[in-house]
């Protein structure tokens, strides 16, 4: 099995090295990661300038590794183009959780999504890094465990995995979707110019069975995702209640 390993924290992240070490137990690994940090870049792609890659300055225990002047989604597109026949894309281990609404902003998850868009399985891994540095040696067996479990089911094409600091077990979960408190916090730079930080925090406690709940309770959260965002319920309702004319004649303003 050929595995492409990427992330959004950049080629120098210890989380990338940890994920590559685990991936090497499952197959042949090629590492293709952004040359600088791309956290919160979401699923953006580089469309207004050319992409290029260079051999990585970091040595990953004999694994092939390259850095790209682009986003996580770019790394997957370019990496799977250059390294032929990639079977699986792994992204992470992100230094910071990607739970609930963070999925919308996450570059880590975008890399896995990009794989799925290209017809390749994609799995994202994240862990908290706020209160303490992640202990990757401790986490690696849990990553390996999650990965073998996920690879058993061929139907799982896109999965979001979040690991707590010290996991006690694993749980299948759903994405916690709630409104969050998005705050703009003003500040000032040393030259007296105004600047702003955009911060988000959840407004409500985590729902049982959700990704946030699992990680808060010490479990590795495994969330199967899909690309289709269509609201089936709403579509069904409007189809029944509000049929729209197939041929539309715009009203002429007087
Ligand atoms: Mn990141």
Residue 109 is part of a domain; what is its CATH number? 3.40.1210.10
- In this prediction, residue 183 carries a pLDDT of 85
- In this prediction, residue 105 carries a pLDDT of 92
Ligand 1 center from residue 244 Cα (angstroms)? 43
Domain of residue 213 covers 2-177+206-241
85 is a domain residue: yes
- In this prediction, residue 141 carries a pLDDT of 97
Give the 3-state secondary structure percentages of the chain, helix then strand then coil, rounded to 5: 25, 30, 45
Ligand 1 center from residue 35 Cα (angstroms)? 13
Q: How far apart are CA 151 and CA 157, in angstroms?
A: 9
Ligand 1 center from residue 105 Cα (angstroms)? 10
Q: For Cα atoms 119, 176, 23, give the angle at the middle one, nearest 5 degrees.
A: 40
- pTM of the complete model: 0.92
198 is a domain residue: no
114 is a domain residue: yes
Could you give the angle at which helices 14-23 and 136-152 cross, rounded to 10 degrees?
A: 50
29 is a domain residue: yes
Query: Residue 12, SS3?
Result: coil
13 is a domain residue: yes
253 is a domain residue: no
Q: Which residues of the chain have pLDDT under 70?
A: none
Ligand 1 center from residue 107 Cα (angstroms)? 7
Going by C-alpha positions, the residue among 87, 89, 104 that lies closest to residue 41 is: 104
Number of domains the chain contains: 1
- In this prediction, residue 179 carries a pLDDT of 75
42 is a domain residue: yes
- In this prediction, residue 247 carries a pLDDT of 80
Which residues make up the environment of ion ligand 1, defined by Cβ < 5 Å? Answer: 8-9, 39, 94
- In this prediction, residue 84 carries a pLDDT of 84
- In this prediction, residue 214 carries a pLDDT of 97
Task: Please say whether the dihedral angle defined by the alpha carbons of residues 157, 220, 7 and 178, taken in this order, is positive or negative.
Answer: positive
């Amino acid at each position: 099995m050929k595995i492409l390993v990427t992330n959004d924290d950049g080629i120098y992240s210890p989380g990338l090295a940890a994920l590559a070490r685990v991936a090497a137990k499952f197959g042949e690994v090629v590492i293709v990661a952004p040359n600088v940090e791309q956290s919160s870049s979401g699923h953006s792609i580089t469309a207004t300038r050319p992409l290029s890659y260079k051999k990585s300055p970091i040595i990953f225990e004999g694994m092939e590794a390259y850095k790209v002047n682009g986003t996580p989604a770019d790394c997957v597109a370019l990496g799977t183009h250059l390294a032929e026949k990639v079977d699986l894309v792994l992204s992470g281990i992100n230094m910071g959780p990607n739970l609930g609404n963070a999925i919308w902003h996450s570059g880590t998850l975008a890399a896995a999504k990009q794989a799925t868009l290209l017809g390749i399985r994609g799995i994202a891994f994240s862990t908290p890094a706020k209160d303490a540095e992640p202990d990757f040696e401790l986490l690696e067996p849990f990553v390996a465990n999650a990965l073998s479990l996920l690879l058993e089911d061929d139907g799982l094409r896109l999965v979001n995995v979040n690991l707590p600091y010290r996991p006690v077990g694993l749980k299948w979960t759903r994405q916690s979707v709630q409104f969050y408190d998005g705050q703009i916090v003003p500040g000032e730079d040393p030259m007296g110019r105004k600047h702003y930080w955009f911060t988000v925090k959840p407004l409500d406690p985590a729902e049982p069975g959700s990704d946030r709940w699992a990680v808060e309770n010490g479990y590795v959260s495994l969330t199967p995702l899909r690309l289709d965002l269509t609201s089936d319920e709403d579509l069904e309702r409007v189809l029944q209640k509000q049929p729209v004319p197939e041929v539309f004649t715009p009203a002429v303003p007087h």
